[in-house]
Structure 1
Amino acid sequence: MSATNIEVNPELLADAMRLLGTKTKKDTVNAALREVVQRLKRLEALERMTARAERGELDPAIRAYEARKAAQRSDA
């Protein structure tokens, strides 16, 4: 890891510490960065999945799932 000196808004830091449940400034900044990265990665994945759905790439998987569910219902 590298050491970096930054100025941080104390009110935002206090809010972030409360919301993230962190105790130190370092833990808060690292948790906030981790949260942002994870959130943006999930958004990117959702955008890729949406594009696949729009191209119809998920249709075979949906049909297979529906067929399995129908088979389970008929077995019951």
Structure 2
Amino acid sequence: MQTTLNLDEALLNEAFQLTNITNQEELINLALQELVRSRSGSSGASRRKKNLLDLAGQIQFVADFDHKTLRETRHAAD
């Protein structure tokens, strides 16, 4: 399908530099694929990524948690 677009030239140039793509059509197709993949969870994983804001208030922190002890215990089991 052929479409005429007015694109932000600075954004377009930055995308070209980040991807090393030189063709506008390829760049737009890649951008659309990434958008669909990120929004639909179609990257092979059946679950969607949770928005971090959805987790607000659900994580409980323990003040005296010692991550080093946990690591030592986990490696000792290997």
Q: Given the two structures, how large is their TM-score scaled by the length of structure 2?
A: 0.50
Q: Is the 8 A contact 1:20 1:31 kept in 2?
A: no
Say yes or no: does 1:42 pair with 2:44: no
Gaps of 5+ in 1: 48-72
Structure 1 residue 40: deviation in Å? 1.0
Asked which structure has the greater RCO (Cα within 8 Å, sep 6+), the reply is 1
How many residue pairs match? The answer is 48
Equivalent residue number for residue 59 of structure 1 = none
Identity rate, percent: 21
Which has the larger share of helix? 1
Equivalent residue number for residue 30 of structure 1 = 29
Gaps of 5+ in 2: 50-76
**SS at 1:46 equivalent:** coil
Question: Alpha-carbon deviations, 1:10-54, whole Å to 9, x = none?
Answer: 10001111222211111111111111111112298326xxxxxxx
- RMSD of aligned Cα (Å): 2.6
Q: Given the two structures, how large is their TM-score scaled by the length of structure 1?
A: 0.52
